[in-house]
Chain A
């Protein structure tokens, strides 16, 4: 346990009355926040609470509409990230700001304001990275690195500038539980050396384990400040969402026939920066939810396109849907077999941003009487869209509203609702609640459970371990393009799944061969 922060030390950073409005939403409304030297300060809030916007303001990426930023006792205007870095502020982005086609050293040199000779820089990178237990090779190309390694590059990039304040935006979503512990060690050591850390997260356990103090945001406003170690998850949740964290429960249920089967599914990637799938074996039965865990970038994207039919595989038998060989079928043909699909990318894949919700219903719903002799029946399309909106409580002006005008959570409700109402036999859902607020998350999870209870085979691929443990009957782990065997969620633990996420596990192949 770290000592409580010394309140007599003047704060390093003070935010006073920060307000930032966007056309549809007030992202920050009169936000106050203070961080002292050596303090690990949590910025806690659910998706859409305004945490990232606030941090972008501190880092000079975004300009506030009102309010002031006070740095070491003096008001400042941080007009650009370069100015922020000159003050001693470093930031590790949630979606990294790295260039895949460049080397680690080139990436880091781009963020350094002074110029250093390449060899000298490489030496400094090695020194700092080893010193903090974040080993990286400066000559490697970023696209060849895992997500966790990329995060190290981002952190080392900040450390090279000896920051006085380090902002970490949702850093653990890309890490295995074991790697999270290592990251925490690094962060504590930095704090001991006097660096202030602003730690953005919506994960209560992490914040209680790591942070000295916390500011809680809800709907863009500060709803409380706390010392997390003295709070319970329940009390923090109340500050964050105004009520206790809701939970979903699975009623035990015997699964039925096998509806989706992968038999030694292998797929070499076309994308030079992609992951090759190796001998994936999996079966999903009627009336069960199978969850696939894993750090993103381990082949999930490739597995999803192989399942949807966007990248057909070599052998028809590698994928069976409803018992029928489907490896070479295109997405439309697979849908005809009863497959529905919720992709991880909502705008631009799951929905066409510029088109209305009605047109977006037609996108995958064309077989449900919406098209006759090649002509669109707009009345049926609108009725279907309205039904989705009503049943899934999608907040929108009408079914004529453009998909781009919806918030992330509402659009996801619409997409999940649309796929659900197509009455599938099998549904594959990627990142069901990514960036979705808690209310919508619970509605979506419940919808998946209802599908399961109606006998649909459900496959969920998610980065959120908590979520998978909440809604899965069985869990498997994906790492480096391979899939572990599945284990009943009730028979496993976070620790075991976490260890598998590192890539050491048994695959299902052997079993399948003997079966």
Chain B
């Protein structure tokens, strides 16, 4: 094997990792604020179909991506209303959101099966993109790939340096204390949930507008759940989310290319790899309960009612 072969693999690894980066970073903020939204898969699907439908109808990818965030935020709003305002169980509501997203996207997406859009293109910067090796590895990705890295940097700064990040962490640790010293816990959690929704929507649209520019029912194929697992794997730290996403991107792409390398295993077993890898990393991280206790936002998944 030589670099000729490796470059497209590395490049597609980056593409496969990007939606995971968006979705997991979004969920990371939600969980840091103490909310567990298991509806990532549903919101991604909503984003995928909305983005595709809008781009297909208007011909504008920009509009498509924007609409995908809007649609997923609507679902996130619904989740927030149920769990934050109406105090519903977060696990059950998150599951409901996923089931609803699956059904709704299939319903809305019916007419778009088999349609096409012009997917998001990689950059083509004069000189830089043409460089051998460095060009395809650094300068030919689409803008959202660079966006995901910018998001990571921004989030790293936000969580550790910004007052808003401090507030999110505080609310995630002890909503009662935050309430007692006068912070609007519910409002802060709404914002986090909405942000998580927007990122999930974007991640979904990245699937249907960039990686495979078409709409297929259930096309997220569990990526929303893998994103949730990544947040645990990352012990709620952004840099580890990115690391994990790229590892998973690698696993996904490797299994696609494995047969090209002459691996004689039925394709179904190769396709199982990302799911089995998810289980494996969860075992690895959760093995020592202290790892989770130390890092998990203390109030994660618990209801908070200001008067109770």
Interface residues of A (CB under 8 A from B): 60-61, 80-85, 93, 96-102, 106, 109-111, 115, 270-272
Contacts and interface: CB of A to CB of B under 8 A. Distances in A.
Given A102-B166, A102-B170, A102-B173, A110 B181 contact: yes
Interface of B: 163, 166-167, 169-170, 173-174, 176-183, 289-290, 293-294, 298
B164 to A, nearest CB: 12
Interface core residue of A81, A93, A97, A270 (most chain B CB under 10 Å): A97
23 contacts: A60-B182, A61-B182, A80-B182, A81-B181, A84-B182, A93-B180, A96-B177, A97-B178, A97-B181, A98-B174, A99-B169, A99-B174, A99-B177, A100-B173, A101-B169, A101-B173, A109-B163, A110-B166, A110-B167, A110-B181, A115-B163, A270-B289, A270-B293
Contacts of B167: 110
A98 B181 CA distance: 9
Given A99-B170, A102-B169, A272-B294, A61 B163 contact: no
Nearest to A271: B293
A102 B177 CA distance: 12
A93 B179 CA distance: 12
Interface of B is mostly: helix
Contacts of B178: 97, 99, 110
Top 3 closest A-B pairs, CB basis? A81-B182, A97-B177, A97-B180
Nearest to A62: B307
A96 B180 CA distance: 9
Contacts of A99: 169-170, 173-174, 177-178
Contacts, number: 56
Contacts of B170: 99, 102, 110
B285 to A, nearest CB: 15
A10 B170 CA distance: 39
Nearest to A118: B161
A185 to B, nearest CB: 26
B180 A81 contact: yes
B245 to A, nearest CB: 25
Among B163, B167, B170, B178, the one with the most A-chain Cβ atoms within 10 Å of its Cβ is B170
A138 to B, nearest CB: 14
Contacts of A98: 174, 177
Nearest to B166: A106
Given A61-B180, A97-B176, 13 more contacts: A80-B182, A81-B182, A97-B180, A98-B177, A99-B177, A100-B298, A101-B298, A102-B173, A109-B166, A110-B167, A110-B183, A270-B290, A272-B294
A112 B290 CA distance: 33
A278 to B, nearest CB: 19
Nearest to B161: A118
A161 B177 CA distance: 18
A85 B298 CA distance: 27
A111 B177 CA distance: 10
Nearest to B307: A62
A83 B167 CA distance: 18
A28 to B, nearest CB: 15
B179 to A, nearest CB: 7
